[in-house]
Amino acid sequence: MPETLHRHLLDPATYRESCAQVEFRETHISRVYLTDRHAFKFKKPLDLGFLDFSSLAYRRHFCQEELRLNRRFCSEIYLDVVTLNRSAEGYRINGPGETLDYAVRMKRLPEERMLDSLLADSRDKDLTAEIDRLADKLVEIYPTLPTFRASGDDSHVAMMRANWQENFRQTRPYIGQTINHELFELGRHRVGRLLDRVEPTMTRREKDGFVRDCHGDLHSRNICMTQDICIYDCIEFNRRFRIGDIIGDIAFLLMDLDFRNRRALSERLLEKAAPILGDAGDIAELIPFYKFYRAWVRGKVQSFLVDEEDTAEDVRREARQQALKYFNLGFGELAPSGLILTCGLSGTGKTTVARALSETTGAMLLRSDVIRKEIFGHDSRQARPGGFNKGLYTAEKTARTYAELRKRSEKILAEGKTVIADASFGKAADRLSFAALAKRCKVP
C-alpha cells in the first residue's frame, strides 16, 4: 500500500463516523485500521501462490468471501464490504469517485477479552470455566458446517498431502535459520509414513461426514471471549486450508494452548469437545498428527517474517525464536513417550529447567509443589508454607505428594505422552519408585 494511502487511512476524516484517532494493525497478508467502533480490514496486494490478492477484482472477491464465511461463526460483527474512494473532496470510505480498494468492515471487539490476552494476563487464574464456554460454542457450531465428501485428487487425504508438500517447499529456504537440515528431513520422512498410516482412518471419516468446510485458522488470537463468544478471521483465500476433519481444525487450538504452556486447558478443551469428534480411537490416532501439522504451519508462517523486507530487526528475532519453538513443539507430538525427573534442592533452578523442557519438547509438566498444595488446600501461588519436615513438608504429606505425582505421571504415560516430574527426589526410594514406573510403562 502506498505511504500516501496509508496516511489517509490513519486520518479520522476518511471514515464516515465520529472518531478521535485511528489505530493500525498489520499481519503478513492484511492491514487493519481501527476506529472507536469499527475495524476496516484491507488485503495486501500479494500473490503468494497459496493466495492471490494481486488485483482489485481479486481483493473484492475475497472480501466478499471473508464476509460470507465468517458469518457462519460470528454473524453479528461482520457488517459489510466497503470501498475506499478518491474524489475532489479527498479520500473517503464508501465515498464518491474512483474505487481504490475494498475492505471488510467489522464491529470492533474488546482487545482485553481476546483469548490470547486472557491466557497471557491470567497465568495464575483458573480459566477452566472460560474454556468450557468455548467448548460449548464449538460443539454448537461445528455440526452445522457444510459436510465435504470427495474422492481422488479432491479428497481430504489428497488435500493434506498437497498441503504438506507445499509446507516443505515453502519451509526449505529457512533451513539453517528456523529449522535445521536434520529436523527438516526427519519431518519429510515421518510425514510420509504417518500419512500412509492414517489414510484409511481419514478416508473413512470423510465418508462418515467428519470432513467439513471448517475455520482453518482456529487459534486464540482469533477468538474473543465476550458474553456471546466470537470466533472470527477464518481462512477465505484458499479452501484447501479450510476444508478438513473437525479434529484437525480443533487441533489447531489445542496446539496453540500447548504452545502457550496451558496444557491442562488443552486437555480440558479436548475432553469437552469430544462429543463432536467421533470415535475415541480416531481422536487418539489423529490428534498428534494434526497438532504436528498445525505447529509446522505456524513455524512456517513465522519463518516468512524472518526475511520480510519491511519487518523490524527485533520482530525478525522474535519470529525466528517463535518458529523454532513451533517446530520443536510439533516434533514433540511425534516423539516416543518418556519419563523425565528433575532432582535437587529447593531453589536450584529445577522448575526453570523443567518449564523450558516442557515448552521446547511438548512434554507434560507435573510439579510436586503444585500437587502438594492442591492436596492440602493451599493456594499454589503462595510462597512455600512451612520449613523442612514442617507444615506441608512433613514426611507423611511428602509421601502422599509423591504418590499422587506418580499416579498422574502413570496416567500421562499411558496416553503415550512424555511427562516431566518436577520434584526434589531427595530419597533414593522415591527415585527408584519412578524408575520402576518407567519400566512398568515400557518407556525410557
User: What are the structural domains of the chain?
Assistant: 3-108 (no CATH), 113-334 (3.90.1200), 339-441 (3.40.50.300)
- Say how far apart CA 330 and CA 295 lie, in whole Å: 5
Average pLDDT of 274-296?
95
What values do phi and psi take at 130, rounded to 5?
A: -65, -40
Integer CA distances (angstroms), 155 to 164, 196, 251, 360, in order = 14, 14, 20, 34
Instruction: Residue 177: name the closest of 327, 400, 341 by CA.
Output: 327
pLDDT-based confidence at residue 363 (cuts at 50, 70, 90): confident
- All three cell numbers of 250: 480443533
pLDDT band at 61 (very low <50, low <70, confident <90, very high): very high
Q: Please give the model's pTM, rounded to 2 decimal places.
A: 0.79
- 226 DSSP assignment: S
DSSP conformation class of 25: E
The b/e string for 137-163 (b: 16+ C-beta within 10 A; e otherwise) is bbeebbeebeebeeeeeebbbebbbeb
Is residue 282 helix, strand or coil? helix
> Which element (helix H / strand E) includes 221?
none
Q: Pick the range with the lowest mean pLDDT from 57-66, 213-222, 329-338.
A: 329-338
Flag whether pLDDT at 387 surpasses 60: no
> Which set of grid coordinates corresponds to residue 61?
472477491
**Residue 177 CB: number of other CB atoms within 10 A?**
14
| Cell numbers representing residue 238 in the block | 484458499
Cell of 319: 519470529
- Rounded to an integer, the average pLDDT of 355-384 is 73
C-beta of residue 212 within 8 angstroms of C-beta of residue 146: yes
Encode 373-398: b = buried (16+ Cβ within 10 Å), e = exposed.
Answer: beeeebeeeeeeeeeeeeebbeeebb
Band of residue 383 on the pLDDT scale cut at 50, 70, 90: very low
Nearest to 105 by CA among 158, 155, 38: 38
Q: H/E element holding 261?
A: none
- Low-confidence winner among 37-41, 46-50, 143-147, 387-391 (lowest mean pLDDT): 387-391
d(CA 303, CA 317): 10
CA–CA separation, 293 and 289 (whole Å): 6
Residue 389 pLDDT: 52
d(CA 23, CA 151): 46
Query: What amino acid occupies position 440?
Result: R
pLDDT at 151: 67
CA pair distance 276, 419, nearest whole angstrom: 28
The stretch 242-265 carries a mean pLDDT of: 94
Q: How far apart are CA 14 and CA 17, in angstroms?
A: 9
**Is the pLDDT confidence value at 332 over 90?**
no
Closest by Cα among 50, 49, 4 to 241: 50
- Cα distances from 340 to residues 41, 346, 409, 411, 443, in angstroms, run 47, 18, 10, 15, 10
Rounded CA separation 73/141 (Å): 7
Contact indicator for 223, 114 with CB cutoff of 8 Å: yes
Give the whole-number percent of the chain exceeding pLDDT 90: 69
Look at residue 381 in the predicted model and tell me its pLDDT: 45
